Structures are given as structure tokens and as C-alpha cells.
Amino acid sequence: MSTVAVILAAGLGKRMKSSLPKVLHPVLGDPSLLWVLRSLPSEISAAVLVLHFGREQVETALAEWRKEGLLPCPVHTVDQREPRGTGHAVQQAVPELDRLAPRRVIILSGDVPLLGKESVARLTALDSAMLAMDLLEPRGYGRVMQNSDGTLRGLVEEKDASSEILAIRRVNGGAYALPWCELKPALAGLSNENAQREYYLTDAVVAVAAKVPTHVELCDASELLGMNSRADQAQLQSLARRHINARWMEAGVTFLDPETTSVGPRVELAQDVLLEPTLRLEGQVQVGKGTRIGQGCVFRDCRIGAGAEIRPYCVGVDAVIGDHAKVGPFAHLRQGTRLDEKVHVGNFVETKKAHLHAGAKANHLSYLGDCEVGERTNIGAGLITCNYDGFHKHQTLIGQDVFVGSDCQLVAPIQLGDGCLIGAGSTITQDVPANAIALSRTAQVTREGAARRLRDRLKGGMS
């Protein structure tokens, strides 16, 4: 059966007090809308996103996710122009739905990020259904009324409810699966004669339920929590954190302090990974077996091999770290960094578009940008690849088994041949052939006893 999703995301999100559209606010590094899109089961053939406030920002984000292959299906957008209620929002998707001609439509909210794939799949398994939750404090939600067989009889918004209905604790979760042939006429028949002068989607759902038995599926309240304020956002993050960390602990990962460790929804951790406190892994991060990641590290879109040791306070973005590498403390691996196996990158080393081949070492205080460093090469403390002339970036190519002494500058473009040796304190501006020694410093002058003579003279001048 062909199923299309409609995702509502036109609301202003006034209570977020933000210039960023509500659905782009992140939960553990991924925007709310990306969580919702990712929850769509594979049988959903397309999604129609109803946008208005911040439409351009959302479309830019969508284009990026599409490029990165993060969208589970084609996503079309429509503009609601004037938000006049959830029913009005779905009405805007009607031309797209007519074009896509689904048998069934799934409706979700872009600001409800934690609804799990399993719960969406429970909806898609039924012809006509909605998700509900039981709340001790149901304030703010629409109330659910059921027939004696449990199917849906009515939905009443709080502002339209009598005190009798207000006492109902089963509330509408705002997620639905409905047959398109029944939903379409129900949308056309909506009116805004209610307390809020809005076109309610819930009225259309009830109209469908009068024709087709509509199941009320109970769902965990934590999955249906919406992001309406920064406090909601914080609560969503802590719920997601607890859930994700528990899953990884179950899979054999050690968290020294799960409460302060944030692992995003797209992170993959192998067995025996050990995560120290206060670290953050976001986006597409993969960590291999037995790797330890130190306190305070932040990695985004990185691949980290097995048996690696990442010491505290390292930052990595778009970097690949090989098996048994040692990194940090305080290393900064910027985009395009590639460390092969057993590479060591030590404290206060910054890398960018740098490929360090197996066994290479840069243990202290260096900038390695736009460069290749060959196998087993040793980079002394304080090396700088001078890769930028103010206009263009240039490459530094360093061969294997090279020894670069401390405090050198390599002015790119430049090439150091295999096995060469660069004397400490050199500024190298010309290519160095294999196995050569190159140094560029003025000859040392040593004057015997001159220090004592100088001190004596200065002392004499003081008396």
C-alpha cells in the first residue's frame, strides 16, 4: 500500500524566542525535523513538508541533508503562507498528495523529535489510526473519546472542552495514519467554527473515523513530547541522552558518567568503547572496538578506528582516525584530517586536510595544514606548514622516515624527500631531496667568558 507522510512544520514556535525555525533546533546535535524524517519507515514513498516561518532556512537544511544521503525518501515542500490551524496546514498539501496519489497518509509534527521508528511503524501497520497517550496532567492537549470497542469517537480541543471532557486523561498525540480517499473529503469539509477560529485537523480525523474504524494506539508520553520552549528542548535532550546511552551500555560500551555524555542518534559505537565524562559525539560518528575517548572531547562527523586512544579535550570535525592511533590531549583535528593506523598526534597540534600515514608522529605544538606526512616520519615540536600566502593554499608533501627537527617552518608548496633530515629551527623554502640534510640558520657565535664580563660591567655601572 503506498503511503506518503505529511509533516507539519509551519508554526512560528513563538515560545522558543528564536530566529531559527523551531524544527531546526537541535536535540543531541540533530535538528528536530531530521529526527522526524529519520523516523519514517522504508515503506513511506515520499514526504510533504508544510512550511512557512523560516521556510528558506528549512529548505537549505533539507538540501544539505539530501546531499549527505540523510533523507529516507523524496521530500517535497509547500508553503502555508498563513498558519490557520493544523487542518489548514494539511489542506495546503492536498495538491501534492493528489499528484502522489497515496492510498494512505501519515501525519506527523516536525517539532516532536523522539517519536520512534517502531511507533511510526505501528501507525503504518494500520489502515486508519492515531497515537494517544495517558497523562496525569493532560493540560494543553486535545482529549480523546473512544467507542466501546476502543476505536476513535471524538477529539476535543482543550479550549472547546466541557469540564466533563477536560477530566479525560487520554490525549491526542498529534500523529495519524489515515486513508487518503476518506481524508481528502474530510479536509474539504472543515470549518473554523471553534474557540480558536482555526481549521482543526482533529475534526477531519473524527470525520474519517465516522467512516472507517480508527484505532487509538497508546504510546509512551516521552515519545510524543513536543519542542515548544527551550525548557522542552532541554528535557528532550535529557530523555534522548538517557535512552541512547542505555542502549549503548546494553551493547557493551562503558560510560564513566552517562549523565554528562552526549551521544547523538547517528553515532555508532563498537563493543568495549570507553567514554569518559562530559564528551559530545554528534552527527555521523563511528568508533571502533576498544577505543577510549577522553574527558571533554567533541567529535562531529568523524570515523575513529579500533584500539585508539583519544586523550581529554580534543576536537574533531570531518576527520578519520585510524586503528591504534593516539591523539591529544588538546588536539584539534579539522576537516579533511586523516590519521592512518598508529599515528600519534599530541598536545596542541592542529591538523586540516592533513594525511598522516601509518606510524607518523607529531607529538607537540604543530600546525599541519594541506599536507601529506609519510609513514614513520617524525615531526618535531613546533612545526608549522606555511600553507597560505594570503590568497591561495599550497601543499606540503613530506616523505616517509623523515625527521623534522623542532621549531621549523615549511613554506609551501614544498616537498621533502624520503629519509631526509631537517635541522631544528629551520625555515625551509626549497624542496629537499631524499636522504639529504637541510638546515637554514645562521652559524652559532660563542664568546668564552663574555657573560661574566657583561655582568661585571653592568654591576660596576650600578655602584
The residues that are catalytic are: 364
Binding of residue 157 to ligand UD1 (CB under 6 A): yes
Q: Could you say which of 4, 9, 36, 58 contacts ligand UD1 (CB under 6 A)?
A: 9
CB of 342 to Mg ion, least distance (A): 53
Binding of residue 226 to ligand UD1 (CB under 6 A): yes
Binding of residue 16 to ligand UD1 (CB under 6 A): no
DSSP class of residue 54 equals B
Q: Which residue matches cell numbers 586540516?
A: 352
Pick the piece of the chain touching ligand UD1 (CB under 6 A) from 105-113, 308-316, 346-354, 431-439.
105-113
Q: Which residue matches cell numbers 525548557?
A: 231
Binding of residue 89 to ligand UD1 (CB under 6 A): yes
Query: CB-side exposure of 28: number of CA atoms within 13 Å?
Result: 27
Cα(291)–Cα(282) distance, integer angstroms? 17
261 binds, among ligand UD1, Mg ion, none (CB under 5 to 8 A by kind): none
Is 50 or 320 the residue whose CB approaches ligand UD1 more closely?
A: 50
Cα(38)–Cα(41) distance, integer angstroms? 8
Cα(49)–Cα(5) distance, integer angstroms? 8
202 binds, among Mg ion, ligand UD1, none (CB under 5 to 8 A by kind): ligand UD1
Q: Which residue matches cell numbers 631544528?
A: 424
Q: Could you say which of 84, 243, 292, 376 contacts ligand UD1 (CB under 6 A)?
A: 84
Is 85 or 322 the residue whose CB approaches ligand UD1 more closely?
A: 85
Binding of residue 21 to ligand UD1 (CB under 6 A): no
Q: Could you say which of 75, 133, 171, 287 contacts ligand UD1 (CB under 6 A)?
A: 171
**CA dist 24 to 93, 110, 298, 367, Å?**
21, 9, 21, 34
Pick the piece of the chain touching ligand UD1 (CB under 6 A) from 107-115, 270-278, 311-319, 338-346.
107-115
86 binds, among ligand UD1, Mg ion, none (CB under 5 to 8 A by kind): ligand UD1
Angle, CA 137 vertex, CA 132 and CA 140 arms, to 5°: 70
Binding of residue 153 to ligand UD1 (CB under 6 A): no
Is 226 or 316 the residue whose CB approaches Mg ion more closely?
A: 226
Is 41 or 174 the residue whose CB approaches Mg ion more closely?
A: 174
Contacts from 185-194 at CB under 8 Å and sequence distance 24+? 187/87, 187/90, 187/91, 187/94, 190/87, 190/88, 190/91, 192/84, 192/85, 194/157, 194/159, 194/160
Pick the piece of the chain touching ligand UD1 (CB under 6 A) from 83-91, 230-238, 240-248, 338-346.
83-91
Query: DSSP of 151-163, one letter per residue?
Result: -EEEEE-GGG--H
80 binds, among Mg ion, ligand UD1, none (CB under 5 to 8 A by kind): ligand UD1
Binding of residue 377 to ligand UD1 (CB under 6 A): no
CB of 43 to ligand UD1, least distance (A): 23
Q: Could you say which of 40, 97, 100, 201 contacts ligand UD1 (CB under 6 A)?
A: 201
Q: Could you say which of 21, 54, 142, 369 contacts ligand UD1 (CB under 6 A)?
A: 142
- Collapsing DSSP to helix, strand or coil, 249 comes out as helix
Cα(67)–Cα(61) distance, integer angstroms? 10
Pick the piece of the chain touching Mg ion (CB under 5 A) from 146-154, 225-233, 362-370, 378-386.
225-233
Specify the amino acid at residue 292.
R
Q: Could you say which of 26, 40, 44, 88 contacts ligand UD1 (CB under 6 A)?
A: 88
Query: DSSP of 277-305, one letter per residue?
Result: TT-EEESS-EE-TT-EE-TT-EEES-EE-
Is 41 or 226 the residue whose CB approaches Mg ion more closely?
A: 226
CB of 367 to ligand UD1, least distance (A): 46
- Collapsing DSSP to helix, strand or coil, 23 comes out as helix
Is 226 or 382 the residue whose CB approaches Mg ion more closely?
A: 226
| Cβ contact 241:28 at 8 Å | yes
**CA dist 123 to 39, 243, 325, Å?**
12, 22, 46
Q: Which of 417, 387, 394 is nearest to 404 (CA)?
A: 417
Task: Report how many residues bind Mg ion under the rule CB under 5 A.
Answer: 1
Task: Report how many residues bind ligand UD1 under the rule CB under 6 A.
Answer: 27
Q: Which residues bind Mg ion (CB under 5 A)?
A: 226
Interface residues with ligand UD1 (CB under 6 A) are 8-11, 50, 80, 83-86, 88-89, 109-111, 141-142, 155, 157, 171-174, 200-202, 226
